[in-house]
Copies of this chain bind each other. A is one copy, B any other.
Amino acid sequence: MQMGTNLPKVGTYNRAVVLEAIQVSDGISRVQIAERAGLTAQTVSVIVRKLLEEGLVIEDGSLPSQGGKPRTILRVDPSAGYAVGIHFDPGAISYVLADLAGEPVAELHADVRPGLVPEEVIRLMAETARRMLRQAGVPDAKVLGIGLACPGPLDADGVMNYPPRLSGWDHVPIKRLLEEHTGFPVTFDNDASAAAIGERWAGLARSTPSFAYLYLGTGIGGGLFLENQIYRGRSLNAGEFGHITVVPDGPACYCGNRGCVEAVCCPSAIEATVRARLSEGAGSTLSGGPADHTAICAAAAAGDPLAREVIDEVAARLADAAVSIVNMLDIDLLVLGGPATRDVAGIYHDVIAEAVATRPLARRLHRVQVEISPLASDAAAIGAASLVFHATYAPRLGALTS
């Protein structure tokens, strides 16, 4: 049942609306905020005064106006707050220290040392985060929190649930442990949702009402913003685009399903396909080499026929999934990103964009954009930092009715 709302909730919500209007703009006046947000000049004025007092927003020059006095330009102060984003992937951990505008101040990558138990890995994460803050000279008072992007599924308390490709991590309360070891609040999500939130806060979906993020990493996932709101689903596991069935009765997926996008398009599946064709005698520059995902993508980009054939087949299945996403969700934008797009983002983009322009049912009513994330391979770590900013500042309709 839908819940009611009241004045204090409206106040909190409108404050977030004003802050978002300032964050997504490249400088905006009070009058412009009032117009775009549908609020009265007085409401905007009161909220902006408070944001200036708190130091979240700064006045930065002025715009000429017709007849009246010049309008003061408002911007978010990037140095008003910081977050450390941690992307925990089965193979490696990426860290980004980001300012409130979502710009990276420092970055760091570390392999996961084999043989460590979860608690040791989490303690290392906490030490690294603390060290980055110290080296950048960010005082604790300016740290809004730690953002953590993990392989899903996670439950609502931040406990890992049967994470694929991470044996020994089932039922690890990673949020609580990371809070204990850092002393900061931790906001968590799966890597793909985090990447979507990063795109919203600091990337190319800042003011797009509805978009899907197709995330290609060790696995394949996704994130969804619908009508300006993150959509997480009942158990926080919406947007699992990697588990759309694209080959009926196809290869088994670790998830228990068959023929999933992930089972035919993830790096290990691509490697298996290439190796099988090499062993059948296919000619390729990959013969005799490692034929791992990195080498295959580089070879495809360089025109190797076998690598290109396999990447084209993967692109076709990703395009099938993309058309299904568009037919289901009627979005404005599909963003492609994640580390497994390196060298092949252009190929994937062109095949998917062509499919999305020609195959969805409502294509004549509404054109869907397909774009490669400008945040590229760090998308999940920048997204993890953005989780903190988004949780703290984004205007959530849910907060009006909770």
Contact = CB atoms under 8 A, between A and B. Distances in A.
Contacts of A359: 255-257
A358 interface: yes
A165 B38 CA distance: 42
Interface of A is mostly: loop
A256 B326 CA distance: 14
Given A397-B400, A400-B400, A4 B245 contact: no
Interface stretch (A94-102, A135-143, A226-234, A375-383): A226-234
Size bracket, chain A contacts: 35 or more
B228 A1 contact: yes
B6 A20 contact: no
A243 B316 CA distance: 16
A241 B327 CA distance: 7
A153 B40 CA distance: 37
A46 interface: no
Contacts of A155: 365
Nearest to A330: B233
A324 interface: yes
A248 interface: yes
Contact of A2 (B5, B162, B228, B320): B228
Given A4-B14, A248-B316, 9 more contacts: A2-B37, A153-B362, A210-B233, A227-B231, A240-B360, A243-B361, A247-B248, A255-B359, A259-B320
